[in-house]
Structure 1
């Protein structure tokens, strides 16, 4: 089958444990692009961090799905989409966390701006050195929220029970982080929208991932590849399991399925 696009998660997938992209993976992506394939980066990360993590040559090749689908940007199709959390639900969620979970660390992403309800070091769960701007709950209520990040509580069961019907809730980072988006926002929904813009079918996609936020994309893509370090739920529904993110798992598959870099790596 001739594949038209490759969808790449970043953390735990394209990025290795040092948050770097190997030469093998880099060359595989460039070769895919040179063959006419669309490159789509689909991540939970915000725009500012993705630009920092990706080498410029790879950044320039891609369309971007940020915040698990809550914000989409594609210069090739001149597409920019934002799916914020509805204002009434956002305010309710802030009140609930403020009074019901007062010890939680609450990050608030507003497009590419980062705020928080308290001074906190998020580096342990987000692997970034930057810090959010601290705002009061009343100040946070004024924003059109793209995504909430909830950390540092024993479990998320109460939040899941209360808001699973109203919001898209995903637990990642080995159970340490709850990511909260609009019900309209998901990686798979964003992938479908970009495919429509590119006039290609989701069946023509190869996708790679490792965590819960990749499950939806795996279910709609033509060929899904779970990393060797992926969660079991993802491996169980994937078409194949490749090497880990420290073993160039992305490059391994692209070499075989798309016929790229074979002479380079044998």
Structure 2
């Protein structure tokens, strides 16, 4: 199965470099590695040095058009003959067997494939030693983690995440790509999963398709993305009749940043004019 890996990048140059190193150790070489450079010429320069296919997209951080960028990557991949699309977050280093496991789990039926992701501690002096990453394997406990060479099907599409997933070109066309009404951080990946469910695709967790998420500082909840999360959550609610990212919304409310207007069925920034 002709497989193309798709990554979005703006900054995180060292993380992208480690992803290139990880793919170089893959037991199956992808047809191409497409990197969508969102407003960052340094990403394109790095792609040229690593024989990756860089694609430019005008963007202005931090409010990045993630949905549009994934669609551009997929369109480029399918135009180049890809039959299986593997999306990897720029922070993720793939296990050598990740592509093999996604290929083995893909089928003629419509499937949304997800693999386990381990969040790594800060890199030691000198960087991550890729040969030891499997020893640090500790997949996120909120997601399924089937044994290697097995899979687990699920109907809980709220668990889908875009850190590491795969989909055949045919299924991508059926789903119709990511909704581009989302801008900035949050919501677009859950929307994609709901679109997949709406066309009858199944969610399949793939044992052994491991990825290792490189450490970077984060806020919990991500207060720096509050405006985008609130806007995107509202877009999702209008499309699907329910609120995504409830954990973050509830945490923001508890901290006094937002409040819920039950009569209007909306979240508002505290102190913002209505």
TM norm structure 2: 0.31
TM norm structure 1: 0.32
